[in-house]
Amino acid sequence: MQPDDLARVLAPKLGENLLGVEPFEGMAGRVRFRREAALDLFRAVRDDLSFAHLSMVGGIDWVDHREVFYVAWSDAARQYVLLSTDVPATDAHVETASVIWPSANWHERETWELVDITFDHHPDLRHLLTPEGYAFHPLLRSFKIHEPEELEVKTRHV
């Protein structure tokens, strides 16, 4: 499957919410879309393009905006596809993909707690990897981790 095939199927469904389909080596293509059309896109990708398996949902913090990306696999075409949308940093939310692909559930929990992107209508959006009540979103660029101070270590040799 080539990027043109993806565009041909998705453009009628999304209209101007499809921002572009770029080639990506090793994949069917990279589909950039507006977050308003998220559910339409997911449905089209799963049903019309038969990418039945959602492997990965992740977030990237680009400081002024954040990016949510999805990777799905098609058994028929034996290819991956990359879907990516930008959300503004002040209003970082997007519709959940877990109603379309249940495998997105835990990935979205992790993306929320690490990159602070809220997934609307997610059935169970709570902490997964970080402790309950952890107040930070560690993978944001504004969250700095520091090098340790020098420590004086006393050892006892037996």
Binding site for another protein (CB under 8 A): 24-27, 52-56, 58, 60-61, 69, 71, 75, 78-80, 82, 101-103, 105-107, 114, 127-131, 136, 138-139, 143, 145-148, 151, 153, 155, 158
Complex with another protein: residue 10 or 97, whichever CB lies closer: 97
> Cβ of residue 16: shortest distance to another protein, in angstroms?
25
Give which of 38, 31, 35 is closest to 82, Cα–Cα.
Answer: 31
Complex with another protein: residue 9 or 140, whichever CB lies closer: 140
> Cβ of residue 7: shortest distance to another protein, in angstroms?
19
Complex with another protein: residue 9 or 56, whichever CB lies closer: 56
> Cβ of residue 60: shortest distance to another protein, in angstroms?
5
> Cβ of residue 12: shortest distance to another protein, in angstroms?
26
Q: What single string gives the DSSP state of each residue in the chain?
A: --HHHHHHHHHHHHGGGEEEEE--TTSS-EEEE-GGGHHHHHHIIIIIS---EEEEEEEEE-SSEEEEEEEEEETTTTEEEEEEEEEEGGG-EEE-STTT-TTHHHHHHHHHHHH--EEET-TT---SSSPTT----TTSTTS---PPPP--------
Complex with another protein: residue 15 or 123, whichever CB lies closer: 123
> Cβ of residue 73: shortest distance to another protein, in angstroms?
8
Complex with another protein: residue 35 or 107, whichever CB lies closer: 107
What dihedral angle (degrees, nearest 10) is formed by the CA atoms of 23, 70, 87, 109? -170
